[in-house]
Structure 1
């Protein structure tokens, strides 16, 4: 049985914490003023996934990419779970 996204995020974060990672790295979830969500997570080295850019409506959109070992995801006000699910999928390709 697959874990829900929030449980996965908590477990992923815990698995990254090794006494050093958490001092310089982390996960940041914030709001945007247009309105929307921002998710930034230090994922280390990942197989470079193709950036995602989907605009379905003014309030339903996502844009994600990885740069310098950091996941950057932005989305509409109802897209936080989708952003976290993209992070989840991309983190499965992590090597560091």
Structure 2
């Protein structure tokens, strides 16, 4: 399944009448340049997960970082990493839900 289809289904499956009224999924650009993804996981099966900031940097044009804190998935990466960042989120959800 394509990542955008998966994100749409994940969002729909977690809607409860209240949670979705907030800024649940935000995708913004960075001035480095790059992408930033923030996803609210507060009402999901991974709400209590905590991951300290992990930075993987090969050079200024090839990097990404990810963390989970305060019930938010936060990831950033270079201009070619948007799909990769969304797939990191998917992998995290799949891993935790399939345990």
The TM-score range, normalised by the shorter chain, is 0.7 to 0.9
Q: Does 1:69 align with 2:67?
A: no
TM-aligned CA deviation for residue 16 of structure 1: 1.6
Following TM superposition, where does structure 1 have runs of at least 4 consecutive aligned residues deviating by more than 6 angstroms? none
- 1:39 pairs, out of 37, 40, 53, with 37
TM-aligned CA deviation for residue 64 of structure 1: 0.5
Normalising by the residue count of structure 1, what TM-score does the alignment of the two structures yield?
0.85
Q: Pick the structure with more strand per residue.
A: 2
**Cα deviation 1:22-75 (Å, max 9, x = unaligned):** 113510001001100000000121433454310122111110001110011010
Q: CA RMSD in A?
A: 1.6
Number of equivalent positions: 92
